[in-house]
Amino acid sequence: MSNELSLDFGQKNTSQQYKDFQERFKLLATKHPKLIINTLSNIFTMRLIGNKTHGDLAEIGIAEFIHQFMYDFDSRHVGKDLFRAKEHEEDIVIINDISKEEIPVSLKAYGDGPLQLSTDKDSLMFPKLLKYGNAIEDELTIQEIFNSPEFASLNSVNVMPLIYREKAMQCNIMVFDFEKMKADTAKIIYVDEGHKFDYDLQKVIPSKGRSHPIYMFIDKDGKYICEVRYGNAAANALQRGFWTHTVHALPYFNSLTNGWISYKHNLTLVKLFRLALNSTETGHEQANLILQNNIDTLREEC
């Protein structure tokens, strides 16, 4: 792999550092697509083991991908125990080897559709919006909301979603642009349970299906951007927090894989896990040497 992929980074804030990382990652995926296709194929193969297994293994898989293949960056997996104690919602930390800046990143593995961007674990956002009523349209008020302590977490959350379409066997790494969202939000509309926002009529109407209220963020053309879900402390993780929808909010995503890519299952990897769980650490050490040699060959081929 040539050093033409190496970029020069100075001291920048974490948000800008993450944007620089995204462009660096996208450049690598463009020039050497087989690397990310191979890693994502292995990650989504883990769904054959369990519906949630791929999400946990994606964390260590992507961290290792950055470590092995990206010049100027390194990464480490935070781990679940450390994750719970952290201020941010990170699963991995990306390190800029030049500036030494550390970028906390929350890794998500979701199907193509609703996507949680922040858990809002302290239930601050929804109660804050309730104070402003059912329709918030004043530009200064909207900016006041984004600048409030209740929404401060959106300034520091860096999310890397791995999105998949299981039937089509396609995947995409799509990063939500929080700054564009803030700049484009023209209305914030309350949608109660048993209702929906009608995009043609541009108003809330009765409808079946919704069991919890939300606040929907809409652009100047009345199109969906994102939403804040019911924020009561008794609400579960799926009923709370800051969400968007990958299908309806495409203009607010940056694809690090340059769009959808096809993946395939690696049944040999599933067998490797079966054997690894029943072999000794000595066997694992020998296997690690073989696997590292294979990765070194991949780098040399690039």
- What pLDDT is attached to residue 12? 52
> Does the pLDDT of residue 5 top 80, yes or no?
no
The two structure tokens encoding residue 48: 């054959």
Give the global pTM: 0.88
Sequence-distant (≥ 6) Cβ neighbours of residue 237 within 8 angstroms: 116, 119
Instruction: Supply the mean pLDDT for the chain.
Output: 90
294 in a structural domain: no
- What pLDDT is attached to residue 82? 53
The two structure tokens encoding residue 217: 């963020």
Average pLDDT over residues 153-160: 90
Confidence band (pLDDT; 50, 70, 90) for 89?
A: low
- Phi first, then psi, for residue 232 (nearest 5°) are -60, 145
CA distances from 202 to 107, 126, 156, 218 (A): 34, 22, 32, 10
> Does the pLDDT of residue 184 top 50, yes or no?
yes
Query: Model confidence over 188-228: pLDDT tens digits?
Result: 999 999 999 999 999 999 998 788 899 999 999 999 999 99
Q: Give the sign of the dihedral formed by CA 185, CA 149, CA 212, CA 206.
A: negative
Between 99 and 186, the more confident residue is 186
Sequence-distant (≥ 6) Cβ neighbours of residue 296 within 8 angstroms: none
The two structure tokens encoding residue 69: 């293949």
- What pLDDT is attached to residue 35? 97
In our burial notation (b when 16+ CB lie closer than 10 A, e otherwise), range 207-237 reads eeeeebbbbbbbbeebebbbbbbbbeeebee
- What pLDDT is attached to residue 53? 86
Query: Model confidence over 104-114: pLDDT tens digits?
Result: 999 999 999 99
131 in a structural domain: yes
> Does the pLDDT of residue 185 top 70, yes or no?
yes
Average pLDDT over residues 6-21: 66
- What pLDDT is attached to residue 13? 66
- What pLDDT is attached to residue 88? 57
Range of the domain at 132: 3-265
Q: How many domains does the chain have?
A: 1
> Does the pLDDT of residue 230 top 60, yes or no?
yes
Q: With beta carbons less than 8 A apart as the criterion, state whether 193 and 204 touch.
A: no
The two structure tokens encoding residue 149: 């302590």
Query: What length is written for the chain?
Result: 302
274 in a structural domain: no
The two structure tokens encoding residue 3: 């050093």
> Does the pLDDT of residue 59 top 90, yes or no?
yes
Confidence band (pLDDT; 50, 70, 90) for 11?
A: very low
- What pLDDT is attached to residue 4? 38
- What pLDDT is attached to residue 142? 98
38 in a structural domain: yes
CA distance 82 to 92: 11
Average pLDDT over residues 242-253: 96
Between 156 and 168, the more confident residue is 168
133 in a structural domain: yes
The two structure tokens encoding residue 180: 């564009």
Average pLDDT over residues 52-57: 88
> Does the pLDDT of residue 282 top 70, yes or no?
yes
Confidence band (pLDDT; 50, 70, 90) for 232?
A: confident
> Does the pLDDT of residue 81 top 60, yes or no?
no
Confidence band (pLDDT; 50, 70, 90) for 8?
A: very low
Pairing of strands 135-136, 92-96: unpaired
273 in a structural domain: no
272 in a structural domain: no
In our burial notation (b when 16+ CB lie closer than 10 A, e otherwise), range 48-60 reads eeeeebbbbbbbb
- What pLDDT is attached to residue 210? 83
- What pLDDT is attached to residue 9? 37
225 in a structural domain: yes
